[in-house]
Amino acid sequence: MVQSMTGFASEAGTAQGVAWTIELRSVNAKGLDIRMRLPEALLAQEASLRAKIAKQTFRGNVNLSLRIEQDEGETSLAVDEAVLDAYIKAAIKVRFRAKEQGLKLEPSRAVDFLGLRGVMTTADISDLDLPLDAIAESFDQTLSSFTKMRGIEGAALAKILQAQLSEIETLSAQAKDLALARRDQVAKTLQENLARVLDNSDGADADRVAQELAMLAVKADVQEEIDRLSAHIAAARDLLDQEGAIGRKLDFLMQEFNREANTLCSKSNDTDLTRVGLDLKAVIDQMREQVQNVE
C-alpha cells in the first residue's frame, strides 16, 4: 500500500489532575527526520517515542509536539510568602512616608495583596505526578491516527499515479503506431537517397554508402525507447503494489521515464511523433511531482 509522507493527527486527554495535548505532523523529506518538542518532565521518554515513530514511518520530516499543563479543574493555588512579605514591607514604608507628609491612606485589605504579581502561584508541572501510562496510550492513539491518515492520502496518490501510468501507456502505444507507420516511408526515403548519392558520385563505394544510411536508419528507430517505456510502466505498477517505502525507487524510475521521452523526441524527425513525445514528457513531469509525496 502506498503511503504519503504528509500527515497530521492530534489527541488530548486528562488524568490525575494533568491535561495534555499531542500533535504529530509530517511533510516531505529525502529521509526520516524526527523532531520533538517535549516538556522537561518527559525528556526521559524521548527515545521510546522516537522508536515508535520510526517503526511506523520510513521517510518524511516528522514533528511531535507534546504539551502538559495542570488540569483547570484541579489547579491548586498557593501564597508565595517571601513575595507577600516584600509587598507588606513596601506598603508599611509607603504608609509611614504618607503620614510624614500629612496624608491619610485607606486601610489595606488582604484582597489588595492577592492581586499583586507573584503573590499567588500554581503548582509547577515538574512537581506533578504525571500519568505516564495514560499519556503513552494517548500517544499510541495519535500515532495510529497519523499512520492511518498517511495511508488514506497514499491511497489517493496511488490512484493518481495509476491514472498517469495509463496515460503514459496510451501515449507509448500511439508512438509505437506512428513509428511503425513511418517505417516503410523511412526505408523508401533511404533507398531514394542511396540511389541519388550513387547517381551523383563517381567511384563511390555503394556498400559503404549503404552502411552509413543503415546507421542513420538505426539512429532514427525509436522502438527501443518505446520498449523501455513499457518496461518502466510495468516496474512502476509492481512498485505501487508493494508494501513499505517505495518513493525513492519510483523517483529513480521517473528519471528513466524522462530519459526515454527525451531520446524519443530527439530521434523522431516527425511532427506527429514529436508531439506524442512532448505529451509524454508533460505527463511524466506531472507524475514526478506526485512521486515526491510518496514515502
Nearest to 144 by CA among 55, 61, 63: 55
Distances (CA, A) of 42 to 19, 68, 76: 14, 9, 22
pLDDT tens readout for residues 232-256: 999 999 999 998 899 999 999 999 9
What is the DSSP pairing of strand 60-70 with strand 32-37? parallel
pLDDT tens readout for residues 257-281: 999 999 998 887 788 989 999 999 9
Measured at the alpha carbon of residue 263, what is the angle toward residues 221 and 265, in degrees to the nearest 5?
85
pLDDT tens readout for residues 76-129: 556 778 888 888 888 888 888 888 888 877 787 877 777 788 776 655 555 567
Residue 196 has pLDDT above 90, yes or no: no
- Residue 182 has a pLDDT of 73
Q: Determine the Cα–Cα distance for residues 36 and 16; give it in Å rounded to an integer.
A: 24
- Residue 113 has a pLDDT of 76
pLDDT tens readout for residues 54-67: 999 999 999 999 99
Residues making up the chain, counted from first to last = 295
- Residue 7's pLDDT band (boundaries 50, 70, 90)? very high
pLDDT tens readout for residues 33-46: 999 999 988 999 99
Q: Which residues pair with 34 in a beta bridge?
A: 62
DSSP 159-213: HHHHHHHHHHHHHHHHHHHHHHHHHHHHHHHHHHHHHHHHHT-TT--HHHHHHHH
User: Which cell numbers in the block locate residue 26?
Assistant: 509530517
Mean pLDDT of 198-209: 59
pLDDT tens readout for residues 119-146: 766 555 555 678 999 999 999 999 999 9
- Residue 124 has a pLDDT of 54
- Residue 218 has a pLDDT of 52
- Residue 215 has a pLDDT of 55
pLDDT tens readout for residues 139-191: 999 999 999 999 999 999 999 999 999 999 999 999 998 888 776 666 666 66
SS3 category, 121: strand
